[in-house]
Amino acid sequence: MIKYIFLLFFSIFLLSGCGDKLSTSTTDDSANITKALLTGTWTAKCSDNTTASTSSKTVLVFSASGDNLTATTTNYSDLSCVTQSSVFTKKLNTLVLGSKSFTSQNQIINKFTAAVADITLEPKTTSVSTSLNISTYCGLTGWSSGTETSIAGLTCGSITYKSQNAAYKDLIQINSEKTFIRLGNTTNLGSSGYPKTLYTVEYFK
């Protein structure tokens, strides 16, 4: 049971942007971010956690209009992103790109705002759903394998998720070659409500 709960926390931190500061000092001042450029699917590499013998992979999907973003982290019970154990999904709508600026790490970025459509968790095996029910994860006891459950507005472990329709602020950065994007570290917010740093995970199209 501990392994599954640890895995869920790992995916939660990954999606919420917890991570080290970027070490690069490159200024990508030639990169302009548009909704047309973002439209489509951006995928991160498989990320393993040797301590828990698990892994995860996150996929960002921007709708054809560029107004909606679905960020899905699939968690695996192995180190190679093969055997699914749970899926964590954050759905945002009414996405609006802000002005171009840069972080203290000299990364050119765009702010963006959106509204939370939903945040869900889906156990993929009976073992995971049983673990979630035993621990009353997010205060719920109706977890079922293969069933997506909304956790928007709920407290799961030490994290309280935004409610549906809540305002959402983040950053997005693209490199000069326009081959990958990064998102903001939403666990490290400034007084404006936007992340102060970027997360190190890179998403490729």
Could you tell me the pTM of the whole model?
Answer: 0.84
CA 196 to chain centre: 16
- What's the mean per-residue pLDDT of the chain? 86
- Tens digits of per-residue pLDDT, 71-127? 999 999 999 999 999 999 999 999 999 988 766 666 678 999 999 999 999 999 999
Is residue 23 pLDDT above 50, yes or no? no
What is the number of other CB atoms lying within 10 angstroms of the CB of residue 35? 16
- Give the mean pLDDT of 13-17: 46
Is residue 13 pLDDT above 70, yes or no? no
Q: Check: CB of residue 128 under 8 Å from CB of residue 85.
A: yes
- Tens digits of per-residue pLDDT, 36-58? 999 999 999 999 888 889 999 99
When pLDDT is cut at 50, 70 and 90, the band that residue 2 belongs to is very low
- Name which of 14, 62, 55, 71 is nearest 41 in CA terms: 62
Q: Residue 21: its pLDDT value, please?
A: 45
- Name which of 97, 90, 94 is nearest 38 in CA terms: 97
Structure tokens belonging to residue 147: 């069933």
